[in-house]
Amino acid sequence: MTVTPPNLLQELKQKFLSTECPLVGCMRQNAWSARTRWQDYRGKAILMALGKMQHHHSDLCGDYDTYAYGDYLLQYRGGHKKVWWEHDITKLLAVTQIYVGCILIQEVDGELHQHYIPAPSQEEAKHLLLALRERWSSLERIAKNTQRAYMCRYCPVKARCDALDVEQGQTDDWPDHYKAG
């Protein structure tokens, strides 16, 4: 008799199934790709161990989920700190408008660190939401000569994004030796 073990990987996927807020990060990737990476599971496991998943709805972007610890948004990031992390988290705080701030759990070289990011004021949140509405409706691109563009090389929709850049004549910021597609 052959014994078939349970599919634990499928169970992990179901347990950590959540919808990210599409207004945070790369607009094009969020609109065009429904990817989940294994690295996301590690972060979600940490967030789940600390807090609870919260479901949200935005007229701007639909349904999405966050993790919360009491009145605090919880976020996880792996690797050395990137300049855009705080900007993205501040935008997410502006969209949700229910948290007093965010506790960011950062993993660097196997060590966990905690950082606090305060929520924007109501006035700041209002301006951020207006800007996000514009960015989302135009599927704003990430300039290829910025630090954030480093992540583009791993993007599942890179070819489509680069093709749109070429079609719209938005290649002025492509660095020398940029590998399109």
Instruction: Over range 58-72, report the average pLDDT.
Output: 92
Q: Which pLDDT score, from 0 to 100, does residue 91 have?
A: 95
Give 171-181 pLDDT, tens digit per residue: 999 998 888 88
Give 3-62 pLDDT, tens digit per residue: 888 888 888 777 777 788 888 888 888 888 866 666 678 888 999 999 999 999 988 888
Can you tell me whether residue 82 is helix, strand or coil? coil
Quick one: which of 14, 61, 58 has its CA closest to 36? 14
How many CB atoms within 10 Å of residue 155?
Answer: 19
Element (H, E) at 161: helix 158-167
Instruction: Over range 109-117, report the average pLDDT.
Output: 94
Structure tokens at 137: 């409706």
CA 84 to CA 92: how far, in whole Å?
A: 12
Q: Which pLDDT score, from 0 to 100, does residue 38 have?
A: 60
Residue 113 has pLDDT above 90, yes or no: yes
* % residues pLDDT > 70 (the chain): 97
Q: Which pLDDT score, from 0 to 100, does residue 99 have?
A: 97
pLDDT band, very low/low/confident/very high, at 98 (cuts 50, 70, 90):
very high
Q: Which pLDDT score, from 0 to 100, does residue 37 have?
A: 62
Q: Which of the pair, 2 or 120, is modelled with greater confidence?
A: 120
